[in-house]
């Protein structure tokens, strides 16, 4: 084990203390051994160790840990981190449903088109039937045409997916050195098989209704009275109208989902997470042992802060263990809290971070009470801590009771304890791991610790990107061996955290735009077909005195009635969806700072879809107003 050599200040306790839970073991099971047997064996070992060493297997509060510390997982279960698995599966399931909804809208468009085409081909089908073609043969012909169309669309979709995969891979942000995002977005044979199968099934399913309707025509009636073509009388189709209503409803549902994710993405911008992120450069300072002991480390931090602060364009400089809300956020540490007795099984393993002098002040994090860390907080002085509001409310009986209270933390290789006085209370902020609920949080002074991994936060008065070379050069002047290749702006650092949200927003936004386009085409097609079939009716109305505005209102009004029904159904589905989102973990994982019933999102996408639908109805209606009554009556 090389861990003690890498972190000598923590000593051999890093690997010998039975309370540590950082180690991951990788092994191969013997032939015939199941994962359940391995779990049972490790559970027995854990119980034996807890019974044999109750004083060492503790949770940081002095109480014996009650939960199982050893988790045995199969390799497939660790491909996604266990803490992220549920959120990842939820996002994947949501995307799967959304993509299939888009396909459903496209299929409805196809069915609507085939229904309209079946009406136009009534004469042709009647002639075929009159010449001896069986009804089954007509159905097979029409289904073959439908399946051919869907198969061509499926093949085009696979080709488009190949191109879109490269596009999505281009969204992967640059990561700090030593980190990478591994995404395998190559086409899988199961995905291709699913695409081919679903294309065939949808072609059959959505082509069946038009085929059945066309094949049951009364031959003699159709041939004697071509009511559709000869007289131009318009026949309303409830099925076709229902398809339009369904398209609008599902499109609105998709737009609501995309709108909520986009609103959430806008909420988690660095500028809205409760601290200043304007014009900030981030530089890692990872000091290596044995070159830096505790004293030399503190001296280096002071020197680098002073030199960088003297650079032109730099306003102030801060030190922080991890960027709050960023890819390298803080950690969790065990503490004992004055006056608080943990409940049975409760572990005081809380969010924590080491911070340098004036960090919270420089990052414009507001204080409710007390002060920030400063130069007084150094080795030999009283250990101090800063907590947030929810910490005081939960453990001290109120925010106003926090100052002067003490936290005890475990330090050093022999697990000795050090008491730290609370000197400040900061306002609760949303930067704690981008989670819905606020969690208790405490900060410790880095100049009173032996922590060797910090980030230099440089607030600038100009473009932060222009100062990156100067900051890197200044650090290397103090220690040429220090790895500082990933000096970057805070926005670049946040691009890693926001990547899953941006990827989800891009996919859902693309699906929403596609659904909007398909719904628009569907509405336009139905209204345009209606206008073409009602040419004689429009001519008669105009001959009897109807003006163009009357015809426009008539056609647009009938089209917008269908849209109104669709919008109403879509809103009901949207609110039903939000019930699911708010009753599960979706809201906590996929929506940040936005309610699942966000009124702005619901109202905005509803108005957008209504306006687009209005345009889709207006264009064919405008063409109807240009009908010449004389020509329409003569041709009918």
pLDDT of residue 327: 44
pLDDT of residue 411: 56
| Dist. CA 424–CA 387, nearest whole Å | 6
Q: Which residue has the higher pLDDT, 83 or 438?
A: 438
| pLDDT band for position 219 (cuts 50, 70, 90) | low
pLDDT of residue 52: 75
Least confident of 311-320, 431-440, 452-461, 501-510: 431-440
Identify the residue whose tokens are 């659904």. Answer: 515
Q: Are 111 and 210 in contact (CB under 8 A)?
A: yes
pLDDT tens string 583-623: 544 444 566 667 778 888 899 999 999 999 999 888 888 88
Please give the mean pLDDT across all residues of the chain.
77
Cis check: omega of the bond before 116, within 30 degrees of 0? no
pLDDT of residue 481: 82
Please state the rounded mean pLDDT for residues 375-387: 89
| Dist. CA 448–CA 599, nearest whole Å | 48
* Domain ranges for the chain: 3-78, 121-230, 235-273+491-636, 288-481
Q: Which residue has the higher pLDDT, 39 or 56?
A: 39
pLDDT exceeds 70 at position 397? yes
pLDDT tens string 469-512: 899 899 888 888 887 777 888 777 777 667 777 777 788 888 88
Question: At what angle are helices 238-267 and 82-120 packed, to 10 degrees?
Answer: 150
pLDDT of residue 425: 92
| Dist. CA 499–CA 109, nearest whole Å | 34
Which residues, other chains included, contact 30 with Cβ-Cβ below 8 Å and sequence gap of 6+? Answer: none
Q: Are 422 and 386 in contact (CB under 8 A)?
A: yes
DSSP state of 408: E
pLDDT tens string 49-87: 777 766 555 544 344 444 446 778 887 777 776 666 766
pLDDT of residue 422: 92
| Dist. CA 294–CA 301, nearest whole Å | 11
Largest CA distance in the chain: 107
Please state the rounded mean pLDDT for residues 570-595: 68
| Dist. CA 39–CA 377, nearest whole Å | 47
Contacts of residues 66-72 at CB distance under 8 Å and 24 or more positions apart, as own/partner, are 66/344, 66/345, 67/345, 68/43, 69/21, 70/42, 70/43, 70/45, 70/46, 72/35, 72/38, 72/39, 72/42
| 589 closest CA partner among 433, 439, 480 | 433
Q: How many CB atoms lie within 10 A of CB 161?
A: 15
Q: What angle do CA 392, 393, 396 make, to 5 degrees?
A: 55
| Dist. CA 122–CA 142, nearest whole Å | 12
pLDDT of residue 464: 85
Q: Which two tokens stand for residue 524?
A: 């336009």
| 300 closest CA partner among 286, 282, 320, 283 | 286
Least confident of 24-38, 355-369, 430-444: 430-444
| Dist. CA 321–CA 606, nearest whole Å | 45
Which residues, other chains included, contact 583 with Cβ-Cβ below 8 Å and sequence gap of 6+? Answer: none
Q: Which residue has the higher pLDDT, 155 or 223?
A: 155
pLDDT of residue 241: 82
Q: Which residue has the higher pLDDT, 467 or 116?
A: 467
Q: Which helix (H) or strand (E) holds 246?
A: helix 238-267
Instruction: Check the CA dihedral 337-275-297-453 and report its sign.
Output: positive
The share of the chain scoring above pLDDT 90, in percent, equals 7
* 3-state secondary structure at position 459: strand
Least confident of 52-61, 205-214, 346-355, 396-405: 52-61
pLDDT tens string 153-201: 888 888 888 887 777 776 666 655 555 666 667 777 888 888 888 888 8
Q: Which two tokens stand for residue 553?
A: 């209102």
DSSP state of 382: P
SS3 helix, strand, coil % of the chain, rounded to 5? 55, 10, 35
pLDDT exceeds 60 at position 235? no
pLDDT of residue 412: 47
pLDDT exceeds 90 at position 371? yes
Q: Are 260 and 601 in contact (CB under 8 A)?
A: yes
Q: How many CA atoms lie within 13 A of 43 on its CB side?
A: 11
pLDDT exceeds 70 at position 533? yes
Q: Which helix (H) or strand (E) holds 563?
A: helix 548-582
Q: Which two tokens stand for residue 63?
A: 């109480």
List helix spans (H) across 287-332. Answer: 294-309
| Dist. CA 596–CA 598, nearest whole Å | 6
């Amino acid at each position: 084990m090389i861990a003690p050599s890498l972190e000598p200040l923590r000593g051999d306790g890093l690997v010998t203390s039975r309370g540590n839970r950082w180690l991951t073991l990788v092994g191969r099971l013997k032939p015939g051994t199941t994962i359940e047997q391995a779990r049972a064996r490790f559970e027995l070992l854990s119980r034996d160790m807890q019974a044999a060493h109750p004083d060492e297997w503790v949770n940081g509060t002095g109480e014996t840990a009650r939960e199982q510390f050893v988790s045995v997982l199969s390799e497939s279960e660790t491909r996604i981190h266990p803490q992220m698995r549920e959120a990842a599966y939820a996002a994947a399931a949501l995307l799967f449903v959304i993509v299939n909804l888009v396909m459903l809208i496209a299929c409805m468009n196809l069915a609507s088109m085939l229904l309209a085409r079946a009406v136009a081909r009534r004469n042709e089908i009647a002639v075929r039937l009159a010449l001896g073609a069986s009804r089954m043969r007509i159905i097979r012909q029409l289904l073959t045409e439908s399946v051919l169309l869907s198969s061509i669309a499926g093949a085009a979709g696979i080709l488009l997916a190949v191109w879109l995969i490269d596009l999505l891979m281009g969204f992967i942000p640059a990561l700090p050195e030593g980190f990478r995002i591994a995404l395998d977005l190559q086409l899988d044979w199961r995905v291709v098989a699913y695409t081919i199968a679903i294309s065939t099934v949808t072609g059959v399913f959505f082509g069946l209704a038009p085929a059945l309707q066309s094949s049951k025509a009364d031959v003699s009636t159709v041939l004697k009275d071509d009511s559709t073509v000869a007289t131009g009388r318009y026949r309303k189709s409830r099925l076709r109208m229902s398809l339009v209503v369904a398209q609008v409803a599902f499109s609105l549902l998709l737009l609501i989902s995309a709108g909520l994710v986009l609103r959430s993405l806008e909420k988690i911008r660095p500028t809205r997470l409760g601290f200043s992120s304007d014009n900030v450069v981030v530089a890692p300072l990872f000091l290596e042992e044995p070159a830096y002991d505790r004293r030399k480390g503190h001296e280096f931090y002071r020197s680098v802060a002073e030199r960088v602060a003297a650079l032109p364009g730099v306003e102030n400089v801060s030190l922080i263990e991890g960027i709050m809300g960023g890819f390298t956020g803080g950690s969790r540490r065990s503490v004992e809290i004055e006056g608080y007795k943990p409940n049975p099984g409760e572990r005081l393993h809380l969010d924590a971070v080491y911070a340098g002098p004036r960090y919270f002040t420089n990052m414009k994090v507001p204080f409710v009470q007390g002060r920030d860390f400063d130069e007084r907080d150094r080795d030999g002085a009283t250990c101090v801590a800063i907590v947030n509001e929810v910490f005081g409310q939960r453990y001290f009986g109120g925010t106003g009771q926090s100052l002067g209270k003490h936290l005890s933390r475990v330090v050093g290789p022999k697990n000795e304890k050090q008491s730290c006085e609370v000197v400040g209370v900061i306002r609760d902020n949303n930067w704690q791991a981008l989670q819905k609920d606020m969690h208790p949080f405490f900060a410790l002074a880095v100049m009173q610790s032996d922590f060797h991994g910090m980030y230099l936060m440089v607030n600038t008065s100009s473009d932060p990107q222009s100062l990156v070379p100067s900051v890197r050069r200044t650090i290397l002047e103090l220690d040429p061996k220090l790895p500082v290749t990933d000096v970057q702006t805070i926005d670049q650092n946040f691009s890693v955290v926001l990547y899953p949200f941006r990827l989800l927003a891009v996919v859902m936004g693309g699906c929403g735009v596609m659904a909007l386009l398909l719904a628009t085409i569907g509405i336009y097609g139905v209204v345009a077909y209606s206008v073409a079939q009602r040419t004689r009716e429009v001519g008669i109305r105009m001959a009897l005195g109807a003006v163009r505005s009357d015809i426009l209102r008539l056609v647009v009004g009938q089209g917008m009635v269908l849209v109104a029904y669709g919008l109403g159904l879509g809103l009901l589905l949207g609110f039903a969806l939000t019930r699911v989102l708010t009753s599960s973990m979706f809201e906590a994982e996929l929506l940040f700072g936005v309610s699942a019933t966000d009124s702005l999102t619901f109202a905005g996408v509803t108005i957008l879809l209504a306006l687009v639908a209005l345009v889709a109805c207006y264009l064919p209606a405008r063409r109807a107003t240009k009908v010449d009554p004389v020509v329409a009556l003569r041709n009918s």
